[in-house]
Amino acid sequence: AQSVTQPDIHITVSEGASLELRCNYSYGATPYLFWYVQSPGQGLQLLLKYFSGDTLVQGIKGFEAEFKRSQSSFNLRKPSVHWSDAAEYFCAVGLTGNQFYFGTGTSLTVIP
Amino acid sequence: EAQVTQNPRYLITVTGKKLTVTCSQNMNHEYMSWYRQDPGLGLRQIYYSMNVEVTDKGDVPEGYKVSRKEKRNFPLILESPSPNQTSLYFCASSSGFSGNTIYFGEGSWLTVV
């Protein structure tokens, strides 16, 4: 079945540590790929997106993501996490016909 | 400022009492959609609309209705709410291309008792 998988439900990291959030998709063609962040009590905000070209994309707030076709993955990374990064992170894919599918989310806790 | 505005933000209602959650966007977007967010299930699409008078079912349409009479508005209607529709609802819009950014409203917390 077609899906977007975020295998980590919850991650805890120390402030200043590096972060990697995993995302895998299972669609026939390479979809459009997105990462969104949801801060407590807020809607979702786009962090970054991938269409084509350079497989390493830069986003806002110091985040980056790397598309790996062979692994059907689009993992989100940040070299040094800040306490304000604590939030829920969603990976999403966009398919032709304006179909969008979201992963189940990864909740990030940042400890001092 | 680009905005998706939904109301009410918080609502407690009783089973069977019809309610409407309004959604309006000021970006002239063709595409609008509704999602519900539940713990452990992420965001699931309820309905979407490609343009005025064009709507289609998403993954979880049962118990919901929508209409798109104007480009900027896309209300979500619960004709007879039930407790399993207690959820956080998001309205979203984009300019109609699958690769474009989706803009989300701030969410509507709905509790059906």
β partners of residue A58: A64
What integer is the mean pLDDT of A2-7? 87
pLDDT at A98 over 80: no
Residues of B in contact with A95 (CB under 8 A): 98
pLDDT band at residue B47, thresholds of 50, 70 and 90?
Answer: very high
Residues of B in contact with A102 (CB under 8 A): 35, 42-44
pLDDT at B19 over 70: yes
Q: What is the pLDDT of residue A105?
A: 94
Backbone angles phi, psi at A17, to 5 degrees: -80, 165
pLDDT at B98 over 80: no
> Count of residues for chain A?
112
Q: Does B105 touch chain A (CB under 8 A)?
A: yes
The alpha carbon of residue B6 is apart from the nearest alpha carbon of chain A, in Å, by: 11
pLDDT at A3 over 90: no
- pLDDT, tens digit (0-9, with 9 covering 90-100), for B3-15: 999 999 999 999 9
- pLDDT, tens digit (0-9, with 9 covering 90-100), for A38-56: 998 788 999 999 988 889 9
Residues of B in contact with A92 (CB under 8 A): 102
Q: What is the DSSP letter of B17?
A: -
SS3 call for A59: coil
For the record, the structure tokens of B23 come out as 């959604």
Pick B43's closest partner by Cβ from A41, A42, A90. Answer: A90
